[in-house]
Structure 1
Amino acid sequence: MAYFRKLPSGKWQATVRTTDGRKITRTDPLKTVVKKWATDTEAAIARGKWRDPRKTHMTVGQWFDTWLPVHRVEAETERANEGSWRLHLKNTFQDIELDDLTKVEVEAWVKERIDAGIGHAAIRRALNLLKAGIEAAVDNEYVDKNVARKVQPPAGVNGPPEWFEPHEVVAIVKEMRKRGWEAMAVMTSVMVWSGLRWGEAAALNIEDIDFDRNTVSITHTLTQGGKDKDYPKNDASVGEVPCPSWVIAEIRELVGERTTGRLFTTRRQARNLSGGNWRRDWDDVLLAAKVSPYHPHVCRHTCASWLVQAGVPLYEVKRQLRHASIQTTERYAHLSPELHDPVRGAWEGLAHQWRTAGHQIPENNP
Structure 2
Amino acid sequence: MARVALTVQMVESAKPQASAYRLHDTKVPGLSLRVLPSGVKSWNVTWARNRDLAIGKYPTVTLESARTRARRKLAEADEHGAPLALLKSKPKDLTWGVYLADHYKPHVLATAKAGAATVANLEAQFAHLDDTPLTGISRAEFDAFKAARLKAKIKPATVNRDLDRIKAALQQAVNWELLAVNPLAGVKRIKRDIEQRIRYLTKDEEKALRKALAARETLAATRRESGDAWRVERGYEPMGPIVGYSDHLMPITLLALNTGLRRGEITQLKWADIDLAGRRLTVRAGYAKSGKARHVPLNSEALQVLTDYRKQHTGKGELFGIASVKTAWAGLMREAKITGFRFHDLRHSFASKLVTRGIDLNTVRELLGHGDIAMTLRYAHLAPEHKAAAVEALID
With the shorter chain as reference, the TM-score category is 0.5 to 0.7
User: What is the correspondence of 1:112-191 to structure 2 with a 5 Å cutoff?
Assistant: 112-157=148-193, 159-177=196-214, 178=216, 180=220, 181-191=246-256
Alpha-carbon distance between aligned partners in 1 of 2:152 and 2:383, rounded to the nearest angstrom: 32
Does residue 220 of the first structure (1) align with residue 269 of the second (2)? no
Q: Retained in 1: the 8 A contact 2:94–2:134?
A: yes
Matches within 5 A, 1:1-366: 48-52=87-91, 56-66=92-102, 67-71=104-108, 72-75=110-113, 77-86=114-123, 89-157=125-193, 159-177=196-214, 178=216, 180=220, 181-202=246-267, 203-205=269-271, 208-210=274-276, 215-220=279-284, 229=286, 232-234=288-290, 237-243=293-299, 245-256=300-311, 260-261=315-316, 264-265=319-320, 272-275=321-324, 278-342=325-389, 344-345=391-392, 349=395
- The TM-score normalised by the length of structure 2 is 0.60
Runs of 4+ in structure 1 displaced over 6 angstroms?
none
5+ unaligned residues in a row in structure 1: which ranges? 1-19, 21-44, 222-228, 266-271, 353-366
Secondary structure class of the residue paired with 1:51: coil
Q: What is the CA distance between 1:83 and its match in structure 2?
A: 5.0
- Distance in 2 (CA, whole Å) between partners of 1:195 and 1:293 is 19
SS at match of 2:358: coil
Deviation at 1:318, TM superposition (A): 2.4
Number of equivalenced pairs: 282
Whether the 8 Å contact between 1:182 and 1:254 is mirrored in structure 2 is: no
Sort the Cα spacing of 1:122 and 1:83 in 2 relative to 1 into closer, same or farther, 3 A: farther
The alpha-carbon distance between structure 1 residues 90 and 219, as it changes in their structure 2 partners (threshold 3 A), is closer
User: Could you tell me whether the CA contact under 8 Å between 2:86 and 2:177 is conserved in 1?
Assistant: no
CA distance in 2 between counterparts of 1:187 and 1:116 reads 34
1:197/1:300 contact within 8 Å kept: yes
Deviations 1:251-273 (A, max 9, x none): 333333767335743xxxxxx22
TM-score normalised according to structure 1 size = 0.64
Secondary structure of the 1:340 match is: helix
- Give the secondary-structure state (helix, strand or coil) at the position aligned to 1:153: coil
CA pair 320-133 structure 1, distance change in 2 beyond 3 A: closer
Aligned-residue offset at 1:188:
0.7
Larger Rg: 1
Counterpart residue number, 1:4 = none
Q: Distance in 1 between matches of 2:291 and 2:139?
A: 36
CA distance in 2, matches of 1:74, 1:295: 28
* Cα RMSD, aligned residues only: 3.4
Residues 210 and 93 of structure 1: CA distance in aligned 2, closer, same or farther (over 3 Å): same
State how far apart, in whole Å, the 2-side matches of 1:316 and 1:288 are.
34
Name the CA shift for 1:322/1:101 in 2 (closer, same or farther; >3 Å).
Answer: closer
1:232–1:143 CA distance, 2 compared to 1 (3 A): closer
Give the direction of change, closer, same or farther, for the CA distance of 1:316–1:132 in structure 2 (3 Å limit).
Answer: closer
C-alpha change, 1:117 and 1:246, in structure 2 (3 Å) is same
Distance 1:150 1:217 in 2: 40
- The amino acid that maps onto 1:254 is Y
**Contact 2:171–2:182 (Cα < 8 Å) also in 1:** yes
* CA distance in structure 2 between the partners assigned to 1:307 and 1:219 by the alignment: 20
